Amino acid sequence: MKNTEEEKLTSLVRESFRESGAFHPCAVFDEPLDCIRVFTRDCSFTEIRIDDRITVLEDNYCASGAEKYVGFTIKGARHFCNEHHFRLSAPVKMADLLNAILEATPDPVVRVVVNGIVRPLVDKEQINEIELVPQAA
């Protein structure tokens, strides 16, 4: 049996798909786990942890010429936003959040991943903002 947090996440993802019946790139805030999940393609993927904050999603069966990376996760999102004085009563701009992550992270690997994988996914799919306010169940 699924736990409550998994059921809530499943419900949020299904709700994102229900609007038109087809998959659309999306960003979802998982409140119980305090993370942002961004999905740009509906496929099987492997999570590759970069550091304690960033994980990228890599397509398991990437077709030739297709994008290898299909999403990412930002862990500790609300906590990070509070520490960096983001106003959570309104949607947070993804560009501002990524800039703050870069400013707070001296690790060159994280910088390469954010600038080379995460930001291009956000820009290409026009995932401009994310709401960190709990969604009504």
Mean pLDDT of 39-65: 95
Rounded distance between C-alpha atoms, residue 98 and residue 83, angstroms: 14
Q: State the pTM of this model.
A: 0.81
More confident of the two residues 117 and 65: 117
Decide if 34 contacts 76 (C-beta within 8 A).
yes
Q: Is 129 helix (H, G, I), strand (E, B) or coil?
A: strand
Residue 136 scores a pLDDT above 70:
no
According to DSSP, the β-strands at 35-39 and 92-93 are: unpaired
Mean pLDDT of 68-76: 96
Rounded distance between C-alpha atoms, residue 134 and residue 100, angstroms: 22
pLDDT value at residue 112: 97
Which range is least confidently modeled, 16-25, 32-41, 81-90?
Answer: 16-25
Kindly indicate the confidence band of residue 111, based on its pLDDT and cuts at 50, 70 and 90. Answer: very high
According to DSSP, the β-strands at 45-49 and 92-93 are: unpaired
Residue 9 scores a pLDDT above 80:
no
pLDDT value at residue 16: 66
Mean pLDDT of 64-68: 88
pLDDT value at residue 79: 93
Decide if 73 contacts 128 (C-beta within 8 A).
no
Rounded distance between C-alpha atoms, residue 132 and residue 135, angstroms: 9
Residue 27: name the closest of 57, 59, 71 by CA. Answer: 71
Please give the C-alpha separations between residue 40 and each of 48, 102, 107, in angstroms, as whole numbers: 16, 22, 25
Kindly indicate the confidence band of residue 66, based on its pLDDT and cuts at 50, 70 and 90. Answer: confident
